[in-house]
Structure formats: structure tokens, C-alpha cells
Structure 1
């Protein structure tokens, strides 16, 4: 049976997955990564990426015959960059996706028209292009820009590689033309940027030196990967227009598929390019399960879920806007937003249920906003992330959405990369369950929640009106 290797190069660890053509995992392994943080500074050692990736793939392939391996692809954190020399050796530490030392002013001044055309309107200081401009101030002649995935892909194939459009988004690539715009090229030294290809394009084959270190057979095709968020979407199987992957863990991330590029006047939705040329719009909220660990430290969440399920035949009486930290990014931009609760929870069960309901309301509001922008939202909704371990929360989300929701057996980014490396998603991605709504959507409670966001000046009145209109449908 053929096997494909997916690698997820994350913030805290690198994970390798060897997946058979029927979706069975033939081998898996993970290795930790360390970070260096100090205020706005967040760096990692690129050489550690390679060492731990090699260790993880060796272990994952320990029981896999070399002649079964058909391809490998790597996902990486979006916006993580470094400078290398011409031979691919690091000249700087890697500036991670949330390093905040750069300013976006120069990038936004030069590329305003491009960013407007691409729908996200403005770059943020943590994006890759502002960080590269900051790094190149003191760079030696001949320095090259490299995304996290570029660095390890070059080690795998033994020569220069193109970067994928997903990781290049925050570096300013023109996703419509699929090339670097002149506005970006004029900001950086000549030859500093790699070429660009779509995710899934062939970059080369594993070279003998890399094979000896990683255990991946020499000659194995190396396919361009994508960002970790897009990889998770591929692993979830949200690849048809109108389908959406809602990832609810510490925070909420929503990604879907559209045939046309979505333009967002608020700039809270931006789109990646899919391997087939369609678009992957989405956004990341500051709300999520992180509010549970903050507001209910040490609580037995399973026990609270059981008590909430027994207590409430429909939705709980109170609702919390569960911001994990100050400021909101999606479905609206409000840097000063703070969490609040409508109602007065009497105990931990009500506090727990109020947080779950609030996260479900934010998820619904995300879909309302995407519908307002013209995105198709009538396809399959696939739920992934840690929140899916709670049957009560999953049922509540289905009720609030008024839609059935799909759960997968495995939807991790490494699986998405195994699919991108050449596996058949129809066979490799398995459905665990489809959860139907148990009752009517809590329309009045949701309407009050939307009205409160509008009253506080965070939610645009037009968005609030559209949400109320969809309630009435």
C-alpha cells in the first residue's frame, strides 16, 4: 500500500504523519521546538526545525518499507521568515509569525493598491513583508528571504526552491497574477525573493544527504505545501465551494472555499489560493475555549458539560462574549473590545454554558458576515479543534447554526499535507459523525447578543442588520 508523508512544522512542535491510501496511519511522531520570547520578540532557531523534523520523520517511517513512500509535503506557520545565504544557511534567527518588532508603514505605503485589490487592504506589523524589510536593513550582500517551509524544503531537495502562494501571501505576493508585484520587488534587494508556485507543485525530490538524515527515501517527490491553517482545512476535507472548516480551540478560526475572490471592506477576511486555483477565505477570532481555562481554572469541564446537558433542554439563560484577550479581529475589527456577559450566571455550570453559547454565537456571526460579503455558506460545515471533544458544545453549535455539522476522525494539518503530497482525499479523510440540530436556534438570545455588540460600537450596523435579517429567514 502506498504511503504519503505530511509534516506540520508548528510553533511548539514538528509532527510527521505517514498515511496510507486508505487513511490508516502507518506511522506518526512529534518533536518539541523551543522559542525565544522577550516582549515583542519571538524567535526560533531554523537549524532546530531541521534537526527535529529529521528526527520526527525517521521515527514515523520506522516501520514503513521505503518502496511504499510516494511523496512528502510540509506545512508551516504563516508569516515566519528569516534570511539565508545563497547556500540556504541561516544568516538570522527566524522571526516567528507573531514577532512584533517591525512596522508595516513602509509596506502599506508602497503596496496599498495591491493590498486593496487582494481584499485584505492593509498589512499588519506581524506579517512577513514588514519583518523582511526590518531584517534587510543590516543584511549582507546576497542575503535571501526564506519562509519557514522554504528553509526545510531546500534541505530536503538540496537546491533552491520556490515558495508556495499560501506562505507568500503575507509577503505580498499577487495571488491573482500568481507572481511578485513590482511594488514588493522594489522594496527588497534584487534576487532576494524565491519564485512562487501553487501549493502541491513539485519542488524536486529528496536528495541523498536529506534521505540519510530524515529516513525519507532518496528520490521521493517533494510537493510545495501551504500554511498550517490551510493544511488543517485540507485535512478536514473542506475543499468544495461553499464548504467551511470551523476550528475551535483556544480561539476560533474559520476557513472556506469560494470560486471568486472575496473583498472585505473591513479587512477582517483575507483569502489564500487553493491548489486548484479557487480561493480560501477566512478569518481568526479572538474568542474561544481559552476563556474556559481563564474563567474556570481547574474546573472539571467534562462534569460541567454533563450538568449543563442535564440542566438545559435548549440554550442556557446567560451568554458570555468569550474574548481570550483584549481586542477582536473577526467577524469585526475592534482593538479595544473586551469580554462581557449578558445575564448573571448563578454558578460554574451557568458560567461554563454561557461561554460555550457565546462562542457559538460568534461562530454564527462569522457566517452572517461572510454571507453579507457574498461568500457561499450553504455547503458542508466541518468542525475541528479541541472543542469537538465536547458532545454538548458540538450539539449547541449545531443548534445555533441551525445546520448539521460534520466531525472528522482526523483533521490535523499533517494529514492535509499527506493529501497534498498526492494522497486521495476521498479515501484518506474519514467522517466520524454528522450532528444534527436538537432544537430550534436560540433566535432571541442571539439577537440580543448582536444588539449588544452593536451598542458597544464594535459591530457595524449594516452587519448587525444583516445578522437580524438572517435570523428572520
Structure 2
């Protein structure tokens, strides 16, 4: 992504803290990218499911990325900054004289599975507010990990629970920052009331005194302090706006802000996020909803199926050639539910689910084609799942992530979904946070209308969906036979299959 020439107009900073890097962008009020920067991050995984990141590196990485972006932006009038981070990453921090968010240990990352006992406690003693909001906390959510942290003993001093972005926001404003309700969703808030169910959390063993105050996404948390300004290059006094999770940030950047719109993020895994006027209730607990800055609901879920299986079985340098050969295998000779690891979270919850393959691939091209088609089948099942819950699903969906870089794969998704696929040019979390930062002086829809770029379109080829319907029905039947999906989802999925 190339930066645009220097500008004196109003601009906004967006920061995205990921697993492998921090990205920062400066975006002008009409969408021009004025500056950008990045800085690498490291994390450590263990075979037993632990996944940690040295939280002390987060701020230094933000400083490097932001300083680079600001140097390119020149004399742009910075009017706000917002940050997103990995959803469910949590740690304990201390408020000291020199640091308002000093990490007391590593960040327990979004997919860390160590808190199995605590997750069972949450399952057996749920908060009443979660049931009302259709939430069923999962093992990798922040709440079980927070309980794991406090079960080891509370450190002395002014200690509190913090999410990844809370550490950065606190450093930016020079004092402890409130947590946004989007990142706090997986830590156990009542999303309807926008508050902590303190009595229930206390019953679970989480002292309410450890919990940060809450702020709605888009709310001003404070202003960039002199110390942060000196290191990042962002002028002192710039409003620091409460952000959202990385998935919600990508949804904003994709322009998916109206009811009936849905965004599929196709990467190592597959994430579905959309918009609904009403709160969707999923009895299986696979789907959950964030509260959006405009008061709507953003339902979604994350599947463990995705392109991760491609990288396990093929070299990226082979993808282009295999794309051409896969175009001759529609449908492929075998059928795959493409899980790269054990366990599925969405559109159904099965911790014991493993990659499912029906039939034998004729060759590498056939195996490759089956994975591409399998990911699209999973996307279709995700849409059928939310449709079965009463959500509106329009005739167009947005696709972002690494999977959208392949023109063939994107066309294949349009064919299997039977919907026009839109591909935004700059659908990344840092851009979404710049848009959210701009919303504090208007509305999110107004900011997105000014700042987001046009999208590419892939329309279904005539007769293509029907060509894949039989294989999709076969996959649905196989999942139902294994009791991985229920009758309602199977019926919803099969209702769209032409006989």
C-alpha cells in the first residue's frame, strides 16, 4: 500500500496490534493514505496450547510503527487516533508512577487454551446476562484466562485486568484507560447493558476491583500526553478514541455497516461478521454479537477452517500454477472440510472435530481444488447458519484477507455462495481504526462514506452454483451424520440446494 503525497488536511491515525506485527496508518479525511508504518512482534507457542506474547514489546512496536507513519504524513492535521488488538488477549498490569499500564507478565493470546478448568467453571456458573445476550463463553475467551491469572494469586499494588489495546491506550493518554466494550465482550461483560455483571464475576472468582471501567467504541478516552507524543510523533492533545477488536476493525474497513451485509475474512482461519438490527440468539453458542458504535449488533463467529491447510500441504510459490489447474476440477474429485487443527468453533462447536475428507484426490491439483472449494463450502454453511437464526443475508458479501488476493479463489467463492463478492482495496484493521477515530466528530457511517475506497466485484458465473450444489449437500449430510451439526442447520443449508 503506497502512501499518498503529503497533505495539510485533517487526518486520522489507526493502529492494529496483530500477532506478528503492529500496523499504523494515517488516513486523510477523504480516504487518502498519507503515511504508514509497521513493526514486527514475536510470540511463543507450546505444544500444550499455551500461546504468549511479551507484552513489553507492544508499546515499543506501536512507537516505531506510528513514528514511521507520522514521518510520512508530514503536516497533516491529526484529529484522532484509535487502536484495535487481538480479541481475547489479556494480562494483569500495574499502575505505577512511571507507567500507567506496566505488564506483570506476558499477554495470554487470543487462542491460548490453558484455562480449561476455569472455562468449565464459567460453563457451570454462567452469568444471567450472558444467556439474555445469547452468549456462551468459550475456552479461549479472555474470561477463563483472567480467572487463571487471578487463581495464581493477586499481585500487590494497584493492579487491574487489561486487554492488549488497554495497555497502548493507557500509554497514549498517560493514565489508566477504560476498556472498550468490544474487547471486553470476551472478558464477560453484559453487552446489552454495556456493564460488568460484577456479582456473577465475583462468584466466579474474579474480583470486580480488578476490572477496568468501560467505554463504548468511538468514545474519547483521553488525549495524547506529552510523553507519548515525544515518542510517536502524534501531537499532544489529539483525542484517543476507544477502539474495537481486530475482527470488528476489519469489518469497518470493509464497509460492512448496514443490516444484511456480511464480511468473510479468509486467512489461516475464516471469520464471518455482519450487521443486524436485532440481537441474534444461537442455542449452540457458536455465534456471538458485538455492540456496534451506532447501537446495532454485529454478530459473527470464527471458524477454524481456512487457508491454514493450504500452507500445511503446499508451498505459496505453487499457488498460482495450482489455481490454473484447480479451474479444471470443478468440482474436485474429493470433498474436504478443511480443518488445519483439531476442533471447530463456528458454524458449529465441536472440540473434537478433525479434517474431514470424502473420496480420494486424483493428484495434487485435485487436493488443492478440494481445499479451495471446502473453504467456500464452510463460508456457505456459515451464512446458512446465521440465516437459520433469523438474520438477513443480502445478495452481496464482502471477502477480505489473504484469500481475496487470488482472483480465481474469489471467483470460486462467488460461484459457490451464489452471491456477488465485493473485495475492498484497503480492508485492514488499521484503516478501520482510522475510520472509527473519525467517527467521534460525526457518525461511523459518515466517516466510512468519506474515507473508504471503492471495491472490486466478482459475480457468480451462470450455472456455477448448481455445479457445486451436489457436493455441498453431500458435505452437509456428512456433518449431520457425524452429529456435528443439528437438524435446523442442515435443513437451512439444504433448503438452498437446487434439486
Report the TM-score range of the alignment, normalised by the length of the smaller protein: over 0.9
Q: Structure 1 342/125 Cα, relative in aligned 2: closer, same or farther at 3 Å? A: closer
Give the corresponding residue for 2:57. 48
1:338/1:99 CA distance change after superposition, 3 Å: closer
Number of residues of Structure 1 aligned to a counterpart in Structure 2: 470
Change in 2 beyond 3 A, CA 1:343/1:299: farther
Whether the 8 Å CA contact 2:201–2:208 is kept in 1: the answer is: no
Aligned partner (choices 421, 445, 457) of residue 471 of structure 2: 445
Contact in 1 for aligned 2:396/2:419 (Cα 8 Å): no
Mapped contact 2:395–2:420 kept (Cα < 8 A): no
Structure 1 residues 310-389: aligned runs within 5 Å: 311-312=328-329, 315-378=331-394, 380-389=396-405
1:270-303, Cα deviation, whole Å (9 max, x unpaired):
1111111111111111111111122334661101
Q: Is 2:146 the partner of 1:132?
A: yes
- Unmatched 5+ stretches in structure 1: none
Matching residue of 1:463: 489
- Say whether 1:436 aligns with 2:436: no
* 2:22 is aligned with 1:11: no
Query: Counterpart of 2:13 in 1: which secondary structure?
Result: strand
Three-state SS of the structure 1 residue aligned to 2:71 is coil
Matched, 1:64 2:87: no
Distance 1:415 1:368, change over 3 A: same
User: 1:379: how far off?
Assistant: 5.5
Q: CA RMSD in A?
A: 1.8
Contact 1:9 1:77 in 2 (8 A): yes
TM-score (norm 2): 0.90
Distance in 1, matches of 2:273 and 2:400, equals 11
Deviations 1:123-168 (A, max 9, x none): 2232222222222231234321111111110110112221111110
Structure 1's consecutive aligned runs of 4 or more residues displaced over 4 angstroms after TM superposition are none
- How far residue 37 of structure 1 moved from its aligned partner, in angstroms, is 3.1
Counterpart pick for 1:395 among 411, 428, 431: 411
Question: Within 2, Cα distance between the matches of 1:316 and 1:175?
Answer: 43
Deviation at 1:462, TM superposition (A): 2.5
Within-5 A mapping of 1:74-153 = 74-87=83-96, 88=100, 89-102=102-115, 103-121=118-136, 123-137=137-151, 138-141=153-156, 142-153=158-169
Distance 2:316 2:74 in 1: 45
What is the CA deviation profile of residues 391-450 of structure 1, one whole-angstrom value per residue up to 9, with x for unaligned ones? 111111111111111011110000100000006211322123111101321222211121
* CA–CA separation in structure 1 for the residues paired with 2:54 and 2:127: 32
Q: Return the offset for 1:5.
A: 0.5
**Contact 1:246–1:381 (Cα < 8 Å) also in 2:** yes
| Displacement after TM superposition at 1:74 (Å) | 0.4
Give the distance between the partners of 1:125 and 1:250, measured in 2 at CA: 20
Answer yes or no: is the 8 Å Cα contact 2:477–2:490 preserved in 1: yes
* Closer, same or farther: CA 303–253 of 1 in aligned 2, 3 Å: same
* Counterpart in the other structure of 2:443: none
Q: Which residue of 253, 277, 286 maps to 2:271?
A: 253
In structure 1, how many angstroms separate the alpha carbons of the residues matched to 2:297 and 2:427? 20
Shift of 1:42: 2.4
Question: 1:55: Cα distance to partner?
Answer: 1.0
User: In 2 relative to 1, CA 126–338 (structure 1 residues): closer, same or farther, beyond 3 Å?
Assistant: closer
- How far apart, in 1, do the equivalents of 2:232 and 2:284 lie? 44
- Paired residue secondary structure (1:77): coil
Does residue 28 of structure 1 match 2:36? Answer: yes
| 2-structure distance, mates of 1:118, 1:268 | 13
Q: Distance in 2 between matches of 1:394 and 1:447?
A: 21
1:244 is matched with 262
Cα gap change, 1:299/1:216 in structure 2, threshold over 3 Å: closer, same or farther? closer
